[in-house]
Amino acid sequence: MTLENQAAASIRAAGDVRDAELSGEEHDLRTATAQTIGILERITDGVMAFDGEWRITFLNHRAAELMPRLHKSPQELIGKNIWEEFPDLVGTKAYEQYHRAVAEQTPVAFEIFYPPLDGWLEIRAFPSSDGLSVYFQDITERKRAAEALAEQTHAAMLGADIGLALTQGATIKDMLGRCAEAIVQHLDAAFARIWTLSADEHVLILQASAGMYTHLDGPHGHVPVGKFKIGLIAAERKPHLTNEVLGDERVGDQEWARREGMVAFAGYPLIVDDNLVGVMAMFARKALSEATLQAMSSVANGIALGIERKRSEEDRERLQQEIIGMQRSLLAELSTPLIPIKDGIVVMPLIGVMNKERAAQMLETLLKGVTTSGARVAILDITGVRAVDTHVANILLMAAQAVQLLGAEIIITGIRGSVAQILVKLAVDLKNVTTRRNLQAGIEHAEALMGRARPN
C-alpha cells in the first residue's frame, strides 16, 4: 500500500470519507483532501492529527517512521486515543500544551525531551473547531550540538576563572574559595568543596565550600583519611564518579540525597608528583557529561599544583619572617647592649639611628639592666649615634629621668662639640645630667662616684 493510499485509508477509517457515490462537490472535496495529504506527505516535519476526542485521524510518513521505535503500528493507531496509546505523555509538557491549544484555540510551540526516543522534539500545534494538528521535528542533533558548545564554553570559562583564582588568591583559603565558586558557577553544581591534607597526613581539612553550603565547620570540616567517601578518595587516590547518587553505597545519607534531588557526584584526589595534597568534590542535580568530567579532571590538576605552590610560598614567607625577626632581635641586642664593666657600673653604647622603636627598646633594656644588676651608675654613650635632634634629645632626657627614679646616677658620654652646639640650639636642659666628652672619662667619673659611695 502506498503512503497516499495509506493516508486515504486512514481518513476513511476515521470516518472522514464515506464509501458512497460522490457528488460533484464531494468529488472536489476528495480531490482537495488528496492534494493536502500529498503535501503533508512531502514535508520534512512529522504530522499527526487528532479529532475532538483525541483520536488519531492522520499520520504522515515522517510520523509513521517513528512508530516502530515506539513499538507501535501506524495503521493500528488510526482511530485510537492518543493518551491511551501513549500514557507516558499524560501530565507532560506536551499534554499541557495540547490541551491549552484546544481550550484557548491558540497555536502553541515548544520543545520536549521524549525518553522513549532518547531525543528532543520541536513541536508546533494548531487547533481547529474539531481537533488538533501537530507538526514536529527531531532536533536532537541540534540540541546536542548546542549543549556540547555550551559545555565547551563553560569549560573554557571555568579554566580561566580557576587560573585567576590560583594566581590572585592571597591565602590557600582565599584561593580555594574562589575555585569552589567557579566550579559551582560554570558546572551548575549544587555545591562544591575542597579539602587539603593536614601536616600529619591523617586528616583532610575543609578549606572551601560554595553553593548551597558555605560553612566550613561541622562533620565535614575534618575528614579522616580512609573514612567516608571523601576520605576513601584520599586513601585510594582514585576519582569517584557517579550519575546515580541514589543507590551509591558511598553516599551515606540517601534520604538527604533524595530530598535534595541529587543526581551526580564527582570527587577527585589532588595529587602532585605522587603526593596527595587534598580532595575536590561536587554534587549536582543533573547527570554529568563526559565533557564536564574532563573539565573537572583538568581543574583538579591545576588546583593541586596551586595548593602546592601556595604552600611553598607561605612556607617561604613564614621562614623569611622568622629570619627577619631573629635578625631584628639580634640587631637590637647588638645596637643596644648593656655591658657591666665593674660592680655597680653598667655601660650602654648607642649606635646608628634612634627611632621610636629603638628608643623604647633602649629604655626597656636600660631600666631592666639597672634593676636586675643593682647598678649604682649607668653610662649612656652616644658616640655612635649618627645624628642628634629634638627626638634624640628627648630620648636622652627620658632615659636620665627614668634611671634617676630608680635611685641610680646616669652619665651621658660622647657629646662632641657639634653635638653640644645642637643641644644648646635646641635648648635641651641637661643641667641635672652628668656629661663627659668620651666613654673613658665617663668610666673614670663613675668609678669616682662609686668610690665615694663605698662605706668606710
Q: For the chain, how many residues are written?
A: 456
72 or 323: whose pLDDT is higher?
72
Give the residue among 269, 284, 270 at the shortest CA–CA distance from 229.
269
Average pLDDT over residues 101-108: 96
pLDDT at res. 21: 46
Query: Does the pLDDT of residue 351 top 60, yes or no?
Result: yes
What mean pLDDT do residues 383-393 have? 77
- Helix or strand or coil: residue 372? helix
Question: 91-95, 315-319, 431-435: which has the highest mean pLDDT?
Answer: 91-95
CA–CA separation, 398 and 341 (whole Å): 23
Supply the pLDDT for residue 428: 73
Q: Is the pLDDT of residue 383 over 90?
A: no
384 SS3 class: strand
pLDDT of residue 426: 74
Q: List the beta bridge partners of residue 283.
A: 191, 265
pTM of the model: 0.54
The residue type of 278 is G
Backbone angles phi, psi at 425, to 5 degrees: -60, -35
CA distance 216 to 284: 19
Q: What is the DSSP letter of 81?
A: B
The DSSP bridge partners found for residue 115 are none
Any idea which residue has 630620648 for its cell? 395
Supply the DSSP string of 294-310, one letter for each residue. Answer: HHHHHHHHHHHHHHHHH
Which of these, 316, 317, 376, lies nearest to 346 by C-alpha position? 376
> Could you give the percent of the chain with pLDDT greater than 70?
86
What gap in Å lies between CA 300 and CA 158, rounded to an integer?
12
pLDDT of residue 37: 60
CA separation for the pair 303, 279 (Å, rounded): 10
pLDDT for position 451: 79
pLDDT computed for residue 4 by the predictor: 42
Predicted local confidence at residue 184, as pLDDT: 95
Q: Note the pLDDT tens digit of each residue in 184-236.
A: 999 999 999 999 999 787 999 999 999 999 999 888 999 999 999 999 999 99
- Which H or E element spans position 425? helix 417-425
What is the predicted pLDDT for the residue at 342?
A: 83
Q: pLDDT tens across 12-63, in order?
A: 444 444 444 445 555 554 554 555 565 556 667 889 999 999 999 999 988 8
Per-position DSSP letters for 262-280, written without gaps between them: --EEEEEEEEETTEEEEEE
CB neighbours of residue 422 within 10 Å = 18
Q: Give residue 136's pLDDT.
A: 92
Over range 317-336, report the average pLDDT. Answer: 65
pLDDT of residue 17: 41
What is the residue-averaged pLDDT of the chain? Answer: 84
**334: pLDDT confidence band, cut at 50, 70 and 90?**
low
pLDDT confidence of residue 87? 94
What are 264-293's pLDDT values in tens digits?
999 999 999 999 999 999 999 999 988 889
d(CA 439, CA 445): 10
At 233 the three-state DSSP class reads: helix
**Do the bridges between strand 56-59 and strand 108-114 make them parallel or antiparallel, or are there none, so unpaired?**
unpaired
